[in-house]
Structure 1
Amino acid sequence: MACIGLIIAISCKKEHYSDAIYITGTEENATTALSIDKKPVSTAVSITASGLVANDITVQLRVDNGLIDAYNKANGNKSFKALPDGTYSLSADQVTIKAGTNISNAITLNITSPDKIADGAGYLVPVRISSVSGNMRVLESSRVLYILVRKVLYMTVASLTNNYFKVDFSKNNDALKSMSAVTYEARVMVNSFQSYSPFISSVMGIEENFLLRFGDVTIDKSQLQMAGGGAALTIPTPFSTGVWYHVAVTFDGSIENMYVNGALVATKSLSRTVDLTSGDFYLGRSAGGRQLDGALSECRVWSRALSKAEILNGLCGVDPASKGLEAYWKLNEGQGNVASDISGKGHNATAAGPVKWIAGVRCDQ
């Protein structure tokens, strides 16, 4: 009987623990993103209960900008700030979960004046459960929904069809030798993948050293691969032509990770150092050819392994003075044949021929 009583007690405790409400979606990720263009936009916010409620539950919601500093510190001292006054509103300040249901009606966060929001800046809107009717418990880890707001950017990019850039790593290069950590980043769009052996379309790097590329004789020509150093890491899912992607590879001395649009898609263990001064470093070419038929922008080299959050927050641009940023080619000059290294290290990239610049390419952050 004691055993039966113990089982009942545990069962009751678990049932009581699950009796809670939370902002819908935050049980998996408390942060979501909202891109804004030239027109007002909105996103919905609702409340979910862990089970059907016996009585109507009213939940009060509000924007709590006092949480922004703590969010920034908890996520690597980010610089998100509050949206300017008058640029946003909540459609209402409360929702109700009706008796016999477990999901409330929705309210919306409305961005009403996108023209007053700065390009490239990162904004954060913390929507917080402030009070609940009755005795319903709030799941504390899901009390706040953090909405990251950024403006869509329109960028100038470099076409690399029948062209490529060679990088000057001959000076200010001490940080590029015997690297125990490194990150490559680039935004890339492919017009067509190489159709002849070895089926390689190079993105950036040094052949047989540390090269980000599409294709090889052992993989599909549309698969992205990090090659060199006696090991290769390949993303299993093929890429599409005519689509812009942000791609990144990080190496921290023991683990190599690959990301697409900020999502981790491949990983492997690896032990080596990287020397980016031991060969010719190109954008859009390698090994005397293997060129990229497409376009590039936002190419970066770091002497540290970026976190997933850092990659996600830098899809369309980063601060040129960022720690560990060794080279940064935005490839947005719009004229001439030189891509400036805006990191300040002087590693400019020079094109093999006249560059075709493409204006007005959209980038969602």
Structure 2
Amino acid sequence: MNKINQYMRSWFSWMIFVGAVTCFIAGCKQQQQQDFDNLVFIRQTANNPVVTLALDGGTGTTALTIGSSYTMGATEEVRVDILGQDYLNDFNRRNFTEYQLAPQSAVTLSSRSVAIAAGTALGQENITVTVREWPEYIDGAQYVVPVKIAPASSPVLSGSDVALVLVTKTTVGFAAQNANLPVPVAVFGADANGKPYNNFTFEGRFNMTRAFGVAGNWRSDIFNGCGLQFLVNSEGAIDIRFPSSAFMTTTAKATLNTWYHFAITYASGVVTLYINGELVGQTPYAGLTLSECAITPYATGTGATVSEFRIWKSLRTPRQLRTFVCAVNPSDADLLGYWKLNDGNGNRAMDSSGKNNHLTSSTNIAWVPGVRCPQ
């Protein structure tokens, strides 16, 4: 009997121990779950803090949704503020960005607070950010509005409590067809002709509106620079031909009536081609020298249309190529020439870089109105 009682006591003790451990673990899990789920955040920043706002016609809006990861037990009041230059300076330093602060006088928030009601996980209304273009706005600069949330009692999800509202601008203007615009070698410097060159970028936008090729011509040239012939062949393949008549043979192919951004970089004897900021071809080719260039979308019948041509004395990064499609800051010290090709009349293309490298076409330019960027 004593052995049975001893066994029963041991069994009950073991069950009490197991129950205590189970309750402890369950309590920890519940606490961990509660600690995690109770976080408040801006839903648009779950994967990326940058939220885009496009100015179109001088004004743009975007909506920010504030929520929590699970339904609130009690109503949570969330304050909404716009941060200043100190925050942006720190963000730029940590992320190697060059954002500029949009003036608060150009920004309106629909509300400075929002409530997440008990039993829900979403704010009762979105916060609408409205930005109006201001007189000092510079095309090509990256302006942001840092919007921060501050819940009254709940913690925030780290990294998702600030939305960087990036102010972009939809441009509407002209683009050029049937242009043959020689770019003098003096763009590279007074005594540049024939010298080896390195660390340069040529970039622009093009759109094949009618055909890729015409009878008797297997290609449509878009740009010729320092021996590099950037073209679209009759099957829509995008390529570069070298002075040796060899081709890069890229992976890119054009579609009619679609705008593309291209960029050609040259460094350490390697030519690289990007389409829409993505690398599509790369070929070693040593010995290229500086010479006259030309913007050449004049193949009759193709309807090749061009805009936003630039020459840089530096290598543009893929991120820069993707970000600055529609405009760049014309005062950038590395710009050698910047032709927006939105002049709208005559046969001249004005240089926006401030270096007065204006171009004159040997053909009659057909100016296409109503061209939007982004498309």
Provide the residue aligned with 1:60 in structure 2: 79
Matched, 1:283 2:303: no
Aligned-partner SS, 2:209:
strand
Provide the residue aligned with 1:185 in structure 2: 203
TM-score normalised to structure 1 length = 0.74
Matched residue type, 2:44: G
Provide the residue aligned with 1:301 in structure 2: 311
Matches of 1:272 and 1:141, distance apart in 2: 44
1:342–1:291 Cα change, 3 Å: farther
1:117–1:166 Cα change, 3 Å: closer
Provide the residue aligned with 2:342 in structure 1: 332
Picking from 278, 288, 296, the partner of 1:265 is 278
- 8 Å contact kept, 2:297–2:304: no
Compute the RMSD of aligned alpha carbons. Answer: 4.1
Summarize the alignment of residues 95-244 of structure 1 with structure 2, pairs less than 5 Å apart.
95-99=114-118, 101-104=120-123, 105-111=125-131, 113-114=132-133, 118=137, 120=139, 122-129=142-149, 131-134=150-153, 136-160=154-178, 163-169=179-185, 172=189, 174=192, 177-196=195-214, 199-206=218-225, 209-215=227-233, 220-221=235-236, 223-228=237-242, 231-235=248-252, 238-241=254-257, 243-244=258-259
- 8 Å contact kept, 1:167–1:282: yes
Matches of 1:268 and 1:14, distance apart in 2: 50
Summarize the alignment of residues 237-252 of structure 1 with structure 2, pairs less than 5 Å apart.
238-241=254-257, 243-250=258-265
- 8 Å contact kept, 2:239–2:247: no
CA drift at 1:116: 6.0
CA drift at 1:20: 3.3
CA drift at 1:147: 1.2
1:295–1:319 Cα change, 3 Å: same
Summarize the alignment of residues 30-69 of structure 1 with structure 2, pairs less than 5 Å apart.
30-38=49-57, 40-66=59-85, 67-69=87-89
CA drift at 1:269: 5.5
Aligned-partner SS, 1:234:
coil
Q: How many residue pairs were aligned?
A: 343
Matches of 1:70 and 1:157, distance apart in 2: 39
TM-score normalised to structure 2 length = 0.72
**Residue deviations 1:63-82 (CA, integer Å, cap 9, x gap):** 11333444455565636232
Provide the residue aligned with 2:12 in structure 1: none
Aligned-partner SS, 2:45:
coil
1:48–1:305 Cα change, 3 Å: farther
Q: Which has the higher helix share?
A: 2
**Residue deviations 1:323-346 (CA, integer Å, cap 9, x gap):** 332332222344443334444666
Provide the residue aligned with 2:330 in structure 1: 320
Summarize the alignment of residues 6-21 of structure 1 with structure 2, pairs less than 5 Å apart.
20-21=39-40
Matches of 1:259 and 1:314, distance apart in 2: 13
Matches of 2:194 and 2:162, distance apart in 1: 42
CA drift at 1:109: 1.0
Q: What residue ranges of structure 2 are gaps of 5+ in the alignment?
A: 1-17
- 8 Å contact kept, 2:177–2:304: yes
Aligned-partner SS, 1:194:
coil
Aligned-partner SS, 1:310:
helix
Matches of 1:106 and 1:277, distance apart in 2: 55
Q: What residue ranges of structure 1 are gaps of 5+ in the alignment?
A: none
1:265–1:310 Cα change, 3 Å: closer
CA drift at 1:198: 6.5
Q: Which has the higher strand share?
A: 1
- 8 Å contact kept, 1:68–1:82: no
1:297–1:269 Cα change, 3 Å: closer
Matched residue type, 1:275: L
Percent identity (aligned): 23
Aligned-partner SS, 1:109:
strand
